[in-house]
Amino acid sequence: MLEFGVSGKLINNALVMFDRQTDSLWSQFLSFSVRGEFEGTALETVPLVLTTWEQWTKENPETIALRKPNSSSQDQYEGYYFSNDAGVIGEKISDDRLPRKELVLGIGFDDGPKAFPHSELRETRIVNDEVAGKKTLVFYQTESTTALAYGREVDGQELTFKLEQSDGREWLVDEETGTRWLPFTGQAVEGPLGGKSLERLHAVNVFWFAWTDFYPDTELFGVS
């Protein structure tokens, strides 16, 4: 078991960690060690959700929140989010297909990167796609600006999804079986596939300039 800290170093403006046991350096963005005893070793990736606190507690009402003593509720990076600044060392790749600070959902990584702009997802809400050879579902909730990626094969069956409103909430519904799925968990709650779960895919919500610095040849959804 390793314990990590912040090294103060950057790779393409992305955080570099170190482990206290060997002082190996680890790229937060790439999820593997770039120097030291563990160089080349990959960390297990655990899918996360970038959403609002309101939406999170609506889906997970028993959540316990970690807050440091005397911490401020003000976001110290708010100015950075809304500026055109590309970080401490600037962007390495300039790709004008999107504004520099456009948020994208990045999927596929070294197996075949593809970026889904939040601006496009606000219009489409749901995308049935294939990324890096994986049948992929992208879901977007406008109110909380939440973008999630799932695998859309269950027990070897490829599913095609749409959004429906019923019982006072929004559902993912697959066209093949009519099963209803919870968008934020990927769990099937009603229908022939009830009890099944969609696989959460490793994906990151990140600024466009940061994604293209690591993946300059990325495919881009919805933008020519």
**Over the stretch 130-160, which tens digit does the pLDDT of each residue have?**
999 999 999 999 999 999 999 999 999 999 9
* Average predicted confidence (pLDDT) for the chain: 91
pLDDT computed for residue 86 by the predictor:
67
pLDDT of residue 138: 98
pLDDT tens, position by position, 188-216: 999 999 999 999 999 999 999 999 999 99
What mean pLDDT do residues 29-45 have? 94
Question: Does residue 91 form part of some domain?
Answer: no
Question: Residue 171 and residue 29: Cα distance in Å, rounded?
Answer: 31
Residue 153 is inside which H or E element, if any?
strand 153-154
Angle at CA of residue 56, ends 51 and 57, nearest 5°: 155
Same domain for 115 and 207, yes or no, is: yes
What percent of the chain shows pLDDT beyond 90?
Answer: 74
Domain containing 142 equals 103-220
Q: How far apart are CA 144 and CA 134, in angstroms?
A: 26
Mean pLDDT of 44-64: 91
Q: Report pLDDT for 83.
A: 66
Is residue 78 over pLDDT 80?
no
Tell me, yes or no, if the pTM score tops 0.85.
yes
**Does residue 155 fall inside a structural domain?**
yes
213 and 112 together in one domain: yes
The rounded distance, in Å, linking the Cα atoms of 161 and 172 is 6
CB 190 within 8 A of CB 204: no
In a domain, 10, yes or no: yes
Q: What's the pLDDT tens digit per position in 80-108?
A: 666 666 666 666 778 889 999 999 999 99
> What pLDDT does residue 93 have?
73
Number of domains in the chain: 2
Q: Is residue 112 part of a domain?
A: yes
- Give yes or no: residues 29 and 107 share one domain: no
* CATH number for 211: 2.102.10
My answer on whether 14 and 121 are in the same domain is no
- Residue 72: pLDDT band (50, 70, 90) is low
The phi and psi torsions of 79 (rounded to 5 degrees) equal: -65, -35
Residue 8 lies in a domain: yes
52: amino acid identity, one letter: T
Place 220 in a pLDDT band, splitting at 50, 70 and 90: very high
